[in-house]
Chain A
Amino acid sequence: MTWDVILATLAAAIKAGTPILYATLGEILAERAGILNLGLEGMMLIGALTGFLICSMTNNPWLGVLAAISSGALLALIHAFLTITLRAQQVVSGLALTMFGMGLSGFIGKVVIGVPIVSYFRPFDFPILSQIPLLGEVFFQQDALVYISYLLIPILSFWIYRTRPGLHMRAVGENPATADAMGISVTGIRYFYTLLGGCLAGLGGAYLSLAYTPVWLENMVAGRGWIAIALVIFASWDPLRALLGSYLFGLVDAVQFRAQALGLAVPSFFLNMTPYVATILVLVFATRQTARRHLGAPTALGIPFAREEKT
Chain B
Amino acid sequence: MNEKVRMEGIFKRFPGVIANDGVDLDIREGEIHALLGENGAGKTTLMCVLAGIYSPDAGTIRIDGEKALIRSPRDAIRAGIGMVHQHFMLVVPYSVAENVTLGLNKPRFLLNERKLEAEVGKVAQSFGIQVDPHAKIWQLSVGEQQRVEILKSLYRGAKILILDEPTAVLTPQEVRELFVTLRQMARAGHTLVIISHKLEEVMSLSDRISVMRKGKRISTVNTKDTNPTELARLMVGREMLFDLHKEKAIPGDEVLSFYNLHALSDKGLPALRDISLSVRSKEIVGIAGVAGNGQRELAEVITGLRPATSGKVVVNGKDVTNNSPRQVIDQGVAHIPEDRKGTGTVPNLCVLDNLMLKCYRVEPFRNGPLLNLSRIREFAQKLVKQFRISTPSLETPVRLLSGGNVQKLILAREIATFSELMIAVHPTRGLDVGATEDVHQMLLEQRSKGAAILLISEDLDELLALCDRIDVIYEGKFMGEVPAEGEQIETIGLMMAGKKGGTKEPEAASLQAHA
| A residues apposed to B, CB below 8 Å | 162-168, 170-171, 174-175, 177-184, 296, 299, 307-308, 310-311
Binary contact track B68-82/A, C-beta < 8 Å → 1, others 0? 000011100100000
Residues of chain A contacted by B347 (CB below 8 angstroms): 311
Q: Which 7 A-B pairs have the closest CB atoms?
A: A182-B103, A183-B74, A178-B89, A183-B103, A182-B102, A184-B103, A181-B73
Binary contact track B91-124/A, C-beta < 8 Å → 1, others 0? 1111000100011010111110000000000000
CB of B54 within 8 Å of the partner chain: yes
CB of B399 within 8 Å of the partner chain: yes
Q: Are A167 and B73 in contact (CB under 8 A)?
A: no
Q: Are A171 and B54 in contact (CB under 8 A)?
A: no
A181, A183, A296: most-surrounded residue (chain B CB, <10 A) = A181
Which among A179, A296, A308 is the interface contact of B53 at CB below 8 angstroms?
A308
Residue pairs across A and B with Cβ atoms less than 8 A apart, 23 shown, are A167-B102, A170-B91, A171-B102, A174-B92, A174-B94, A175-B89, A178-B89, A178-B91, A179-B91, A180-B73, A181-B73, A181-B83, A182-B73, A182-B77, A182-B89, A182-B102, A182-B103, A182-B152, A183-B74, A307-B72, A308-B55, A310-B400, A311-B399
Q: Are B110 and A181 in contact (CB under 8 A)?
A: no
CB distance from B162 to the nearest CB of A (A): 12
Q: Are A178 and B73 in contact (CB under 8 A)?
A: no
Q: Are B91 and A164 in contact (CB under 8 A)?
A: no
Beyond A182-B73, A182-B89, 18 additional pairs, beta carbon < 8 A:
A164-B111, A165-B109, A171-B91, A174-B93, A175-B91, A175-B92, A178-B90, A178-B91, A181-B51, A181-B85, A181-B89, A182-B77, A182-B103, A183-B74, A184-B102, A308-B53, A308-B55, A311-B347
Measured CA separation A181–B54 after assembly (Å): 11
Measured CA separation A307–B83 after assembly (Å): 15
CB distance from A154 to the nearest CB of B (A): 15
Measured CA separation A179–B110 after assembly (Å): 19
Q: Are B53 and A181 in contact (CB under 8 A)?
A: yes
CB distance from B161 to the nearest CB of A (A): 14
Q: Are B107 and A164 in contact (CB under 8 A)?
A: yes
By beta carbon, the residue of chain A nearest B103 is A182
Q: Are B110 and A162 in contact (CB under 8 A)?
A: yes
By beta carbon, the residue of chain A nearest B88 is A178
Residues of chain A contacted by B74 (CB below 8 angstroms): 183
Residues of chain A contacted by B105 (CB below 8 angstroms): 164
From DSSP, what is the main secondary structure of chain B's interface residues?
loop
Measured CA separation A307–B73 after assembly (Å): 10
| B residues apposed to A, CB below 8 Å | 51, 53-55, 72-74, 77, 83, 85, 89-94, 98, 102-103, 105, 107-111, 152, 347, 399-400
Measured CA separation A181–B89 after assembly (Å): 8
Measured CA separation A165–B104 after assembly (Å): 10
CB distance from A212 to the nearest CB of B (A): 35
By beta carbon, the residue of chain B nearest A307 is B53
CB distance from A163 to the nearest CB of B (A): 5
CB distance from B452 to the nearest CB of A (A): 36
Q: Are B77 and A167 in contact (CB under 8 A)?
A: no
Q: Are B91 and A174 in contact (CB under 8 A)?
A: yes
Measured CA separation A180–B72 after assembly (Å): 9
Residues of chain A contacted by B102 (CB below 8 angstroms): 167-168, 171, 178-179, 182, 184
Measured CA separation A171–B100 after assembly (Å): 12
Measured CA separation A311–B399 after assembly (Å): 7
Measured CA separation A135–B447 after assembly (Å): 78
Measured CA separation A167–B111 after assembly (Å): 9
Measured CA separation A167–B116 after assembly (Å): 13
By beta carbon, the residue of chain B nearest A158 is B110
Measured CA separation A204–B53 after assembly (Å): 40
By beta carbon, the residue of chain A nearest B83 is A181
Q: Are A310 and B399 in contact (CB under 8 A)?
A: yes
Given A174-B91, A183-B72, A310-B400: A163 and B103 interface contact (C-beta under 8 Å): no
Measured CA separation A162–B55 after assembly (Å): 35
A165, A183, A311: most-surrounded residue (chain B CB, <10 A) = A183
Residues of chain A contacted by B85 (CB below 8 angstroms): 181
Residues of chain A contacted by B399 (CB below 8 angstroms): 310-311
Q: Are B94 and A171 in contact (CB under 8 A)?
A: yes
Measured CA separation A311–B144 after assembly (Å): 24
CB distance from B185 to the nearest CB of A (A): 20
Residues of chain A contacted by B111 (CB below 8 angstroms): 162-164, 166-167
CB distance from A302 to the nearest CB of B (A): 14
Given A168-B102, A183-B74, A184-B103: A163 and B109 interface contact (C-beta under 8 Å): yes
By beta carbon, the residue of chain B nearest A173 is B91
Measured CA separation A257–B188 after assembly (Å): 74
Residues of chain A contacted by B94 (CB below 8 angstroms): 167, 171, 174
By beta carbon, the residue of chain B nearest A296 is B93
A182, A296, A307: most-surrounded residue (chain B CB, <10 A) = A182
Residues of chain A contacted by B92 (CB below 8 angstroms): 174-175, 299
Q: Are B103 and A168 in contact (CB under 8 A)?
A: yes
Which among A166, A174, A183, A311 is the interface contact of B77 at CB below 8 angstroms?
A183
Measured CA separation A171–B89 after assembly (Å): 11
Measured CA separation A182–B91 after assembly (Å): 11
By beta carbon, the residue of chain A nearest B399 is A310
Measured CA separation A171–B93 after assembly (Å): 9
Q: Are A179 and B54 in contact (CB under 8 A)?
A: no
CB distance from B141 to the nearest CB of A (A): 19
CB distance from B95 to the nearest CB of A (A): 10
By beta carbon, the residue of chain B nearest A299 is B92
Measured CA separation A170–B111 after assembly (Å): 14
Which among B73, B83, B90 is the interface contact of A183 at CB below 8 angstroms?
B73
Given A168-B102, A183-B77: A308 and B54 interface contact (C-beta under 8 Å): yes
CB distance from A192 to the nearest CB of B (A): 15
Measured CA separation A178–B102 after assembly (Å): 9
Residues of chain A contacted by B54 (CB below 8 angstroms): 307-308
